[in-house]
Protein backbone atom coordinates (compact mmCIF):
# COMPACT_ATOMS: atom_id res chain seq x y z
CA UNK A 1 0.00 0.00 0.00
CA UNK A 2 2.82 2.40 0.82
CA UNK A 3 4.43 1.81 -2.58
CA UNK A 4 1.18 2.70 -4.38
CA UNK A 5 0.91 5.91 -2.40
CA UNK A 6 4.51 6.79 -3.30
CA UNK A 7 3.77 6.27 -6.98
CA UNK A 8 0.80 8.60 -6.74
CA UNK A 9 2.92 11.27 -5.08
CA UNK A 10 5.61 11.26 -7.80
CA UNK A 11 3.48 12.72 -10.64
CA UNK A 12 2.07 15.32 -8.24
CA UNK A 13 5.57 16.35 -7.19
CA UNK A 14 6.69 16.67 -10.81
CA UNK A 15 3.60 18.74 -11.62
CA UNK A 16 4.33 21.10 -8.74
CA UNK A 17 7.94 21.53 -9.84
CA UNK A 18 7.00 22.36 -13.42
CA UNK A 19 4.26 24.65 -12.16
CA UNK A 20 6.74 26.58 -10.03
CA UNK A 21 9.13 26.83 -12.99
CA UNK A 22 6.41 28.20 -15.27
CA UNK A 23 5.32 30.66 -12.58
CA UNK A 24 8.87 32.00 -12.31
CA UNK A 25 9.32 32.30 -16.08
CA UNK A 26 5.96 33.89 -16.97
CA UNK A 27 7.08 37.45 -16.05
CA UNK A 28 10.14 36.99 -18.27
CA UNK A 29 8.07 35.67 -21.18
CA UNK A 30 5.81 38.73 -21.24
CA UNK A 31 8.56 41.23 -20.36
CA UNK A 32 11.21 40.09 -22.84
CA UNK A 33 12.71 42.39 -25.48
CA UNK A 34 12.26 39.89 -28.31
CA UNK A 35 10.88 36.49 -29.30
CA UNK A 36 12.77 34.04 -31.50
CA UNK A 37 12.13 30.66 -33.08
CA UNK A 38 14.74 27.93 -33.54
CA UNK A 39 13.96 24.91 -35.73
CA UNK A 40 16.41 22.20 -36.70
CA UNK A 41 16.91 18.77 -38.18
CA UNK A 42 19.81 16.53 -37.28
CA UNK A 43 21.18 13.03 -37.29
CA UNK A 44 23.82 11.03 -35.50
CA UNK A 45 25.80 7.95 -36.46
CA UNK A 46 27.81 5.72 -34.18
CA UNK A 47 31.22 4.84 -35.60
CA UNK A 48 33.86 2.26 -34.67
CA UNK A 49 36.33 2.91 -31.85
CA UNK A 50 33.75 4.62 -29.59
CA UNK A 51 33.34 7.53 -31.99
CA UNK A 52 30.10 9.28 -32.91
CA UNK A 53 29.37 11.65 -35.79
CA UNK A 54 26.59 14.25 -35.49
CA UNK A 55 25.18 16.80 -37.92
CA UNK A 56 22.58 19.54 -37.41
CA UNK A 57 21.04 22.15 -39.71
CA UNK A 58 19.21 24.96 -37.92
CA UNK A 59 17.17 28.02 -38.91
CA UNK A 60 16.53 30.95 -36.56
CA UNK A 61 14.15 33.92 -36.76
CA UNK A 62 14.12 37.07 -34.62
CA UNK A 63 12.10 40.34 -34.28
CA UNK A 64 9.01 38.59 -32.91
CA UNK A 65 9.72 35.61 -35.21
CA UNK A 66 9.31 37.77 -38.33
CA UNK A 67 12.88 38.32 -39.58
CA UNK A 68 15.63 35.94 -40.63
CA UNK A 69 18.42 35.87 -38.04
CA UNK A 70 20.76 33.07 -39.09
CA UNK A 71 21.11 29.56 -40.36
CA UNK A 72 23.98 27.23 -39.58
CA UNK A 73 25.40 23.82 -40.31
CA UNK A 74 26.97 22.08 -37.34
CA UNK A 75 29.07 18.93 -37.54
CA UNK A 76 30.82 17.29 -34.62
CA UNK A 77 32.89 14.25 -33.79
CA UNK A 78 32.89 12.86 -30.27
CA UNK A 79 34.73 10.11 -28.42
CA UNK A 80 33.40 8.06 -25.51
CA UNK A 81 36.18 7.91 -22.92
CA UNK A 82 34.15 5.65 -20.63
CA UNK A 83 30.53 5.29 -19.56
CA UNK A 84 29.19 8.78 -18.91
CA UNK A 85 32.24 10.74 -20.08
CA UNK A 86 32.52 12.03 -23.64
CA UNK A 87 34.74 14.59 -25.37
CA UNK A 88 33.57 16.41 -28.49
CA UNK A 89 34.90 18.69 -31.24
CA UNK A 90 32.09 20.63 -33.00
CA UNK A 91 32.49 22.91 -36.03
CA UNK A 92 29.78 25.39 -37.03
CA UNK A 93 29.36 27.39 -40.25
CA UNK A 94 26.98 30.30 -39.60
CA UNK A 95 25.27 32.39 -42.29
CA UNK A 96 23.73 35.76 -41.39
CA UNK A 97 22.03 38.20 -43.74
CA UNK A 98 25.17 40.32 -44.08
CA UNK A 99 28.06 38.16 -42.86
CA UNK A 100 29.43 34.68 -42.31
CA UNK A 101 31.02 33.33 -39.14
CA UNK A 102 32.73 30.08 -38.26
CA UNK A 103 32.98 28.50 -34.84
CA UNK A 104 35.29 25.79 -33.55
CA UNK A 105 34.75 24.31 -30.10
CA UNK A 106 36.10 21.71 -27.72
CA UNK A 107 33.86 20.28 -25.04
CA UNK A 108 33.66 17.58 -22.42
CA UNK A 109 30.53 16.20 -20.80
CA UNK A 110 29.72 13.78 -18.02
CA UNK A 111 26.35 12.12 -17.42
CA UNK A 112 25.38 10.35 -14.22
CA UNK A 113 22.26 8.19 -14.26
CA UNK A 114 20.13 6.87 -11.47
CA UNK A 115 16.96 5.71 -13.16
CA UNK A 116 14.72 7.39 -14.09
CA UNK A 117 16.84 10.56 -13.62
CA UNK A 118 19.91 11.65 -15.61
CA UNK A 119 22.22 14.43 -14.46
CA UNK A 120 24.53 15.93 -17.07
CA UNK A 121 27.27 18.55 -16.91
CA UNK A 122 29.03 20.00 -19.96
CA UNK A 123 31.85 22.49 -20.26
CA UNK A 124 32.79 24.00 -23.63
CA UNK A 125 35.44 26.34 -24.99
CA UNK A 126 34.46 27.99 -28.27
CA UNK A 127 36.26 30.28 -30.71
CA UNK A 128 34.23 32.27 -33.24
CA UNK A 129 35.85 33.68 -36.37
CA UNK A 130 34.78 36.32 -38.89
CA UNK A 131 37.02 37.09 -41.89
CA UNK A 132 39.67 34.80 -40.36
CA UNK A 133 39.83 36.91 -37.17
CA UNK A 134 38.71 35.73 -33.75
CA UNK A 135 35.74 37.80 -32.58
CA UNK A 136 34.24 36.01 -29.63
CA UNK A 137 35.91 33.39 -27.39
CA UNK A 138 33.68 31.92 -24.71
CA UNK A 139 33.64 29.34 -21.95
CA UNK A 140 30.22 27.77 -21.48
CA UNK A 141 29.07 25.63 -18.57
CA UNK A 142 25.75 23.80 -18.73
CA UNK A 143 23.92 21.61 -16.23
CA UNK A 144 20.88 19.51 -17.19
CA UNK A 145 18.39 17.26 -15.42
CA UNK A 146 16.40 14.74 -17.46
CA UNK A 147 13.56 12.50 -16.30
CA UNK A 148 12.48 9.36 -18.14
CA UNK A 149 8.68 9.48 -18.18
CA UNK A 150 7.76 6.10 -19.61
CA UNK A 151 9.51 4.63 -22.64
CA UNK A 152 9.05 7.50 -25.09
CA UNK A 153 8.80 10.78 -23.19
CA UNK A 154 11.64 12.61 -21.45
CA UNK A 155 11.15 16.10 -19.96
CA UNK A 156 14.22 18.10 -19.00
CA UNK A 157 15.40 21.37 -17.49
CA UNK A 158 18.79 23.04 -17.91
CA UNK A 159 20.80 26.14 -17.10
CA UNK A 160 23.85 27.51 -18.92
CA UNK A 161 26.40 30.24 -18.16
CA UNK A 162 28.61 32.07 -20.69
CA UNK A 163 31.92 33.58 -19.57
CA UNK A 164 34.27 35.61 -21.83
CA UNK A 165 37.53 33.66 -22.17
CA UNK A 166 39.72 36.71 -21.54
CA UNK A 167 37.47 38.22 -18.89
CA UNK A 168 37.50 38.03 -15.12
CA UNK A 169 36.59 34.61 -13.66
CA UNK A 170 33.38 36.01 -12.18
CA UNK A 171 32.42 37.97 -15.30
CA UNK A 172 29.22 36.71 -16.91
CA UNK A 173 28.25 37.60 -20.48
CA UNK A 174 25.05 35.58 -20.89
CA UNK A 175 22.88 32.96 -19.22
CA UNK A 176 20.11 30.66 -20.42
CA UNK A 177 17.36 28.74 -18.66
CA UNK A 178 15.57 26.05 -20.64
CA UNK A 179 12.98 23.34 -20.30
CA UNK A 180 11.45 21.02 -22.83
CA UNK A 181 10.24 17.60 -23.81
CA UNK A 182 11.82 14.92 -26.01
CA UNK A 183 9.43 12.40 -27.56
CA UNK A 184 10.40 9.24 -29.45
CA UNK A 185 7.99 9.10 -32.39
CA UNK A 186 9.34 6.15 -34.38
CA UNK A 187 12.26 3.78 -34.24
CA UNK A 188 15.42 5.91 -34.04
CA UNK A 189 13.43 9.14 -34.56
CA UNK A 190 12.58 11.81 -32.01
CA UNK A 191 11.15 15.33 -31.68
CA UNK A 192 12.17 17.88 -29.08
CA UNK A 193 9.93 20.80 -28.12
CA UNK A 194 11.60 23.41 -25.94
CA UNK A 195 11.60 26.91 -24.51
CA UNK A 196 14.69 28.98 -23.62
CA UNK A 197 14.88 32.22 -21.70
CA UNK A 198 18.11 33.98 -22.68
CA UNK A 199 19.62 37.07 -21.09
CA UNK A 200 22.59 38.35 -23.10
CA UNK A 201 25.02 41.30 -23.17
CA UNK A 202 25.05 41.42 -19.37
CA UNK A 203 28.18 43.59 -19.31
CA UNK A 204 26.84 46.37 -21.54
CA UNK A 205 23.11 46.46 -22.31
CA UNK A 206 21.20 43.43 -20.95
CA UNK A 207 18.75 42.02 -23.47
CA UNK A 208 16.03 39.44 -22.71
CA UNK A 209 14.95 36.94 -25.35
CA UNK A 210 12.30 34.21 -25.41
CA UNK A 211 13.11 31.29 -27.68
CA UNK A 212 10.55 28.73 -28.84
CA UNK A 213 12.06 25.71 -30.51
CA UNK A 214 11.37 22.49 -32.35
CA UNK A 215 14.04 19.93 -33.27
CA UNK A 216 13.79 16.68 -35.21
CA UNK A 217 16.57 14.10 -35.05
CA UNK A 218 17.23 10.55 -36.14
CA UNK A 219 19.91 7.93 -35.71
CA UNK A 220 21.42 6.65 -38.89
207: domain range?
Answer: 32-219
Q: With respect to residue 96, please indicate whether it lies within any of the assigned structural domains.
A: yes
Q: With respect to residue 166, please indicate whether it lies within any of the assigned structural domains.
A: yes
Q: With respect to residue 21, please indicate whether it lies within any of the assigned structural domains.
A: no
Q: With respect to residue 7, please indicate whether it lies within any of the assigned structural domains.
A: no
Q: With respect to residue 178, please indicate whether it lies within any of the assigned structural domains.
A: yes
Kindly tell me if the per-residue pLDDT of 203 is higher than 80: no
Q: With respect to residue 84, please indicate whether it lies within any of the assigned structural domains.
A: yes
Q: With respect to residue 198, please indicate whether it lies within any of the assigned structural domains.
A: yes
Q: Per residue in 155-200, pLDDT tens?
A: 999 999 999 988 676 789 999 999 999 999 988 899 999 999 999 9
- What CATH number is attached to the domain comprising 170? 2.40.160.40
Q: With respect to residue 2, please indicate whether it lies within any of the assigned structural domains.
A: no
Q: Per residue in 59-106, pLDDT tens?
A: 999 999 999 999 999 999 999 999 999 999 999 999 999 999 999 999
- Residues 13, 15, 17, 19: is their CA dihedral positive or negative? negative
Per-position b or e across 70-103, b if 16+ CB within 10 A of its CB:
bebebebebeeeeeeebebebebebeeeeeebeb
Domain count, the chain: 1
Amino acid sequence: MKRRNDLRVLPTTRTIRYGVLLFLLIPNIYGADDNESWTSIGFEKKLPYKLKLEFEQELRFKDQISTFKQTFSDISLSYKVFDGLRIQIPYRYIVYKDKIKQRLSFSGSYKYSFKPVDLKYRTKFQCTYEDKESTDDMIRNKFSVQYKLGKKVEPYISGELFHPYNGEPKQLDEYRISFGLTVDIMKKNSIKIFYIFKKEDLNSDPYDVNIFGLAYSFNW
